[in-house]
């Protein structure tokens, strides 16, 4: 019994030292992994931040350019029939969107979803207003109808998406 007690008393400190050392090394390893991860994250952010900043700027520009009011002011041609003007408006929205589709790589899925919805809703507004035009209607009639619809809607999807994109960008910084 004395020998067993002596062995336990001899081995117990070694076991305690072993587990203390193992715990220390594990914590140290985890700390080094977190530090390395943070360093990689900072390096990645430093590399991608300019691209992400550009993407958010382009998203804001896209939303501003497809807002029905600014779209009409930019594309309006008073001498066009309403149907031709409707086609020009839809082409402008499609071109703006197509030109910026790659920006979805740098913004969140939620932001891109809102941006896409804003584009779709703008197209819908233009088409609904276009359906209410007669064969003799001119572009000014269509523009007036779109302005009326925008006034009735309240907050447009482009404005909702714009607010979200701005907020998300601020969180990025």
pLDDT recorded at residue 95: 96
Is 84 inside any structural domain? yes
Q: How crowded is the C-beta side of 66, counted as CA atoms within 13 Å?
A: 35
Share of the chain above pLDDT 70, in %: 97
Domains held by the chain: number? 1
Query: Going by C-beta distance under 8 Å and a sequence separation of 6 or more, which residues neighbour residue 54?
Result: 106
Residue 157 corresponds to which tokens in the numbers above? 């999807």
pTM: 0.73
Is 14 inside any structural domain? no
Is 23 inside any structural domain? no
DSSP tag of 101: G
Which residue's entry shows tokens 């009409």? Answer: 72
Q: How confident is the model at residue 51 (pLDDT cuts 50, 70, 90)?
A: confident
What's the domain range around 70? 49-172
């Amino acid at each position: 019994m004395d020998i067993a007690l002596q062995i336990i008393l001899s081995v117990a400190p070694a076991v305690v030292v072993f587990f203390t050392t193992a715990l220390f090394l594990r914590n140290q390893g985890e700390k080094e992994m977190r530090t390395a991860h943070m360093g990689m994250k900072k390096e990645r952010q430093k590399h991608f931040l300019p691209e992400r900043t550009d993407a958010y700027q382009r998203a804001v520009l896209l939303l501003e350019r497809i807002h029905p009011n600014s779209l009409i002011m930019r594309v309006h041609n008073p001498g066009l029939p309403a149907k031709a003007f409707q086609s020009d408006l839809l082409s402008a929205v499609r071109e703006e969107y197509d030109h910026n589709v790659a920006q979805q790589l740098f913004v969140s899925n939620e932001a891109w979803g809102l941006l896409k919805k804003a584009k779709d809703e703008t197209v819908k507004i233009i088409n609904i207003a276009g359906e209410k035009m007669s064969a003799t209607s001119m572009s000014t009639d269509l523009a007036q109808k779109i302005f009326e619809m925008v006034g009735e809607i309240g907050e447009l999807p482009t404005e909702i998406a714009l607010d979200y994109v701005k907020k998300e960008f601020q969180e990025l910084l």
